[in-house]
Structure formats: C-alpha cells, structure tokens
C-alpha cells in the first residue's frame, strides 16, 4: 500500500512538471481556484495570499474575499529555512494565526489526493515562496 502511494505521488509530480513545460503559470487567487478547481488542477498557479491556521490540525492558504482556504504542502524546491520560518510563525509564540499575519506570493501546483477528506480534496503544492511577510501582533486572549 505504501509503495502504491509513493508511485501515485511520483506520477502526480510528473504531471505537474509536464504541464508546466507546455503552459504558463496562471495568475489567480484562492477564490478562483475554489470556484473552479478542475481548471487549475495540475497546472502551475501563482497568487499572493495569507496563511490561516488553528495551530493544531489545519493550515490553509486563505482567500479573504471568499473566506475559504486550500490545504498546502511544500515541494522540495522550497528552502527548509522558508518552511521553518512559516512553521515557527504558525506555532510560536502561541499556536495558530490569531493575532498574526503571515502572507507571501506563492507559486505551485494544485493537486487532488483521493486519500484527502472530502472537505479539503485539493492540496496546493507550493514550489516557490516570495515576499514572505510575518507579523506577530498581540496575543488575542
């Protein structure tokens, strides 16, 4: 079962990579992706948005206008330092993003994983992070 999942993930990675050679990166936003995810599936997309997290279960790239979010993961191309900075901002000095502002310009590929819960069937694999902005405000409680 584990080998099968690895093979599927590898094929999905190739699908994103092969599509990027033929099509340009689509400038979009989270709301457009939510409205028509099949249009963006396995295509390179780019947008500037915020991260919202509860600090325990879920972190999302949020669309402020549509109040919806997309789960995300990191591709190997995202430097460990950037991943750690985002993770630290989510979990310290308190868990979650209440009272915090974490935003950046993200580029990546939208994927659908059959193993994901139906509430969040799509995952945005981030391949590039630019203009990372982290502001820690006051504790909200």
- Is 69 buried (19+), middle (13-18) or exposed (0-12) by CB count in 10 A? buried
User: pLDDT at position 20, please?
Assistant: 42
93-115 residue pLDDT tens: 999 999 999 999 999 999 997 77
Residues 47-58 have pLDDT tens digits of: 999 999 999 889
In this prediction, residue 120 has a pLDDT band, given cuts at 50, 70 and 90, of confident
What tens digit of pLDDT does each residue of 20-43 get? Answer: 444 688 899 999 998 999 999 999
pLDDT at position 7 over 70: no
| pTM reported for the whole predicted model | 0.82
């Amino acid at each position: 079962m584990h080998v099968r999942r690895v093979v599927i993930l590898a094929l999905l990675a190739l699908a994103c990579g092969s599509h990027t050679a033929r099509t340009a990166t689509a400038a979009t936003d989270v709301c457009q992706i939510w409205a028509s995810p099949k249009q963006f599936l396995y295509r390179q997309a780019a947008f500037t948005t915020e991260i919202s997290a509860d600090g325990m279960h879920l972190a999302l790239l949020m669309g402020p206008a549509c109040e919806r979010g997309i789960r995300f993961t990191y591709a190997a191309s995202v430097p460990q330092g950037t991943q750690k900075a985002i993770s630290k901002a989510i979990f310290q000095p308190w868990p979650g993003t209440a009272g915090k502002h974490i935003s950046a310009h993200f580029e990546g590929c939208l994927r659908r994983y059959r193993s994901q819960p139906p509430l969040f069937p799509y995952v945005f694999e981030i391949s590039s992070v630019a203009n990372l902005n982290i502001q820690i405000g006051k504790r909200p409680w």
